[in-house]
Amino acid sequence: MEDKIRHLKEIIEDSKNIVFFGGAGVSTESGIPDFRSADGLYNQDLGREVSPEEMISHTFYVQHPLDFFEFYRDKLIFPDVEPNYCHKALAKLEKQGKLKAVVTQNIDGLHQKAGSENVYELHGSVLRNYCENCGAFYDIDTILSSTGVPKCDKCGGRIKPDVVLYEEMLDDDVVNGAIKAIGNADTLIIGGTTLIVYPAAGLIRYFRGKNLVLINKSVTPADNDADLVIHDSIGEVFRKVMEID
């Protein structure tokens, strides 16, 4: 493992345009449960006739808004979590001018909380919420402090979290920005993702750079194509690489 840590350090030192592409494994080390693991959200028995996947679909949101928001507040918002070593390392690399962008499938806003500025949130963020009628912005506290279906205090419209639900399209501007960043990178570090969730996972095919690095506890479909593969905790890997206390 030490040889791989040393190799990753060398890659980072030699790189001028790094992009990080991350998934749920980045957030689990901050205490946020993932979706697909044995203990993940999708495998929880919620005592309901519908699955967790169905409950975060656009159809369910429209047809059962009260149940949706009850589930959303309970299972998808974690206001007290803090960035881990991975988030902090990426923010440090951005400040050094080496990391040009973070592309994330997570909706928790922890990259920004750690200090990263150029973040492409493919699936949106729980920190942003908008009135479906007038477009007024509301922060996460509005959702947490509300009961039932949150309503706009300006026009009475329903407030919708700015997260991409099943059956909804990804934001074109976010996707295009992520594609451009990945396409310009000399190093792409992929971490905390099994690379099975599309269309997000398909973005890595735009990488044409020199170094493809994969950091994940389990194997991924792209392992054989990578220049460096590390099967370990992504937070611990970055802690050692960046020597963060």
- Quick check: is 136 in a domain? no
- 180 and 235 assigned to the same domain: yes
Output the furthest CA–CA distance in the chain (Å, rounded).
59
What is the per-residue pLDDT for 49?
75
- Quick check: is 219 in a domain? yes
Helix ranges, the chain (H): 2-14, 24-28, 52-55, 58-63, 65-75, 85-95, 110-114, 140-145, 172-184, 234-242
Mean pLDDT of the chain: 92
Q: Structure pTM?
A: 0.92
**Residue 100 confidence class, pLDDT cut points 50, 70, 90:** very high
- 54 and 96 assigned to the same domain: no
CATH code of 93's domain: 3.40.50.1220
d(CA 141, CA 150): 11
| 108-135 residue pLDDT tens | 999 999 999 999 999 999 999 999 999 9
Residues with a known catalytic role? 123
| 2-14 residue pLDDT tens | 899 999 999 999 9
- Tell me how many domains the chain contains: 2
Does the pLDDT value for residue 194 go beyond 50? yes
- Burial-class residue 60 by CB neighbours within 10 Å (0-12, 13-18, 19+): buried
- 66 and 12 assigned to the same domain: no
Compute the average pLDDT of residues 204-214: 96
Provide the residue range defining the domain that includes 182: 2-32+82-123+169-242
